[in-house]
Amino acid sequence: MGKLIVHQEKVQDSAALIKICPFGAMEDKDGKIEINSACRLCKLCVRKGAGVFEFVEAETLAEIDKSAWRGIAVYVDHVGGKIHPVTFELIGKAKQLAAKINQPIYAIFLGENIGQRAQEILHYGVDKVYVCDKKELRAFNIENYATAFENFIDKVKPAAILVGATPVGRQLAPRVAAHFHTGLTADCTVLDIHENTDLVQIRPAFGGNIMAEILTPNHRPQMATVRYKIMDAPKRSEEIFGSIEPLEIPAEKFTSKVEVLSVTEKPKEIGIENADILVVAGRGVKKKEDLKLIRELADVLNGDFACTRPLAENGWLEPKRQIGLSGRTVRPKLIITCGVSGSVQFVAGMEHSEKIFAINSDPKASIFKVANYAVVGDLYEIIPKLIAKIKQGRNLA
């Protein structure tokens, strides 16, 4: 990667030069041509700009001393000390990664009066839990939390950091990554690690058409966020492993001018994430009125119903019922997909379901690649028969 340089002294007709760019990436500011963020580095301006523009290759990055960065760290996501379950899932993945490179596992826990809660993390096989217990961290304040997180990284120097893709994690991880000028891969679905501690971060890209494998070989720490119910949490051990280490930060380090006066909790609701049985409507459902068929199947199974992205965008169902990377991640005991093609983004949001039962008229539908049971046929013929069979079985019982 390189950059464009504008030789302002050679500019004669700025309006003509600006018209060269097909992306509108040039602007005339106070008589000078500036390149904005719309630039795609197509280099058309270099070829047609009469020597005004020059493309300069970036200098090769110096190799980082990877041996100075050790261990896999997990951010403990919590509200008022109540640990979010995504934390335990990330600890499970951290244990797998750490075992491959024979390095320790850390947890970073920020808050107030959280010492007792930190003990719970030791039941999951973490080597050290770094606890920063400060009044400045009583409620989530992005500046104070980032300060504490950055202090932890400076002290411990973990090779990789895993953060839950929760409302807090989605704010905190980018800010910390920007501070260290390192990379951050959001919503990873697969994580692996090389022997040299390079973290392999895999996630859908280009609208879900490909699975991108992302590496950060010349920067540390490496950072990734993972959504809830993507990874497997380890079993809780009755024994305690590892230790708790206080993370001392002087009060003057917390310089935020924002004070959180109170926190209002959202009303609790039972969402599709907590359903044991889900029936999902896809594009195979021809019109909104036909969703009653999906709801009826869900009702006879004592389950809940959901949809794919196109149906939510059409306004057929509310967004909170959408499954996929741009919707909710689910992990029911049984999921029945009806007319769902099985895009990468959708599959990433449900592939860890215990049993996947797919109905689709296309025998080559991608959903069949992940399904435990596949039925090729018209959902308008199959679902009524399935409902009748379920009702018949209950009557016989």
pLDDT at 30 (0 to 100): 83
Using CA atoms, how far residue 26 sits from 35, 41, 287, in Å, is 5, 12, 46
Contact between residue 243 and residue 232 where contact means Cβ atoms under 8 Å apart? no
**Are the beta carbons of 52 and 17 closer than 8 angstroms?**
yes
Least confident of 5-14, 97-106, 123-132: 5-14
Mean pLDDT (whole number) for 147-153: 97
Question: May I ask the CATH class of domain 66-253?
Answer: alpha beta
Closest listed residue to residue 271, CA positions, set 319, 337, 316: 319
Mean pLDDT within 180-186: 95
DSSP secondary structure code for residue 139 in this structure: S
335-356 per-position pLDDT tens digit = 999 999 999 989 999 999 999 9
pLDDT of residue 211: 86
- The pLDDT assigned to 80 comes to 87
For residue 3, what are the β-bridge partners? 56
CATH code for the part of the protein at 2-57: 3.30.70.20
pLDDT of residue 268: 74
Which residue matches tokens 């003057």? Answer: 252
CA distance 111 to 265: 17
The confidence score (pLDDT) of residue 1 equals: 60
| % of the chain at pLDDT higher than 70 | 97
SS (H, E, C) 247-307: CCCCHHHCCCCCCCCCCCCCCCCCCHHHCCEEEEECCCCCCHHHHHHHHHHHHHCCCEEEE
Give every CB contact of residue 71 below 8 A, 6+ residues apart in sequence: 98, 103, 104, 105, 106, 127, 156, 158, 159
3-state secondary structure of 80: coil
Q: Out of 22-36, 90-104, 153-167, 279-293, pick the least confident.
A: 22-36
pLDDT of 60 reads 57
3 state DSSP class of 2: strand
Measured distance CA(173)–CA(225) in Å, rounded = 8
In this structure, CATH architecture of domain 272-396: 3-Layer(aba) Sandwich (3.40)
Nearest to 316 by CA among 284, 346, 290: 290
* Tokens encoding 151: 């202090």
Structure tokens at 191: 């994580």
Global pTM value? 0.80
Alpha carbon distance 349, 194 (integer Å): 26
Please give the average per-residue pLDDT across 259-286, as a whole number: 90
Question: How many other CB atoms are there within 10 angstroms of residue 261's CB atom?
Answer: 6
Closest by CA to 362, choosing from 343, 384, 340, is 340
CA distance 277 to 393: 18
Give me the sheet containing 190-193, strands edge to edge.
190-193, 199-205, 210-214
CB 93 within 8 Å of CB 191: yes
pLDDT: is 190 or 207 the higher one? 190
Distance from the Cα of residue 214 to its chain's centroid = 14
How confident is the model over 66-96, as pLDDT tens digits?
999 999 999 999 998 999 999 999 999 999 9
Q: What is the mean pLDDT of the chain?
A: 93
pLDDT tens profile 3-61: 889 999 999 899 999 999 999 999 998 889 999 888 988 999 999 998 999 998 766 55
Q: CB-based contacts of 122: which residues, under 8 Å, 6+ apart?
A: 129, 240, 241, 242, 243, 244
Q: Can you tell me the mean pLDDT for 260-285? A: 90
What pLDDT does residue 397 have?
A: 57
Distance CA 342, CA 308 (A): 9
Average pLDDT over residues 254-283: 89
pLDDT tens-digit series, residues 230-250: 999 999 999 999 999 999 999
Please compute the mean of the pLDDT values over residues 295-314 and round it to a whole number.
96
Q: Is the pLDDT score of 313 beyond 60? A: yes
What residues contact residue 91 under an 8 Å CB cut-off, 6+ apart? Answer: 74, 105, 107, 121, 124, 125, 126, 233, 234
What span, in angstroms and rounded, lies between the C-alpha atoms of 248 and 254?
12
Residues of CATH 3.40.50.1220 domain(s) within the chain? Answer: 272-396
pLDDT reported for residue 204: 86
Q: Is the Cα dihedral 333, 337, 341, 346 positive or negative? A: negative
d(CA 145, CA 137): 7
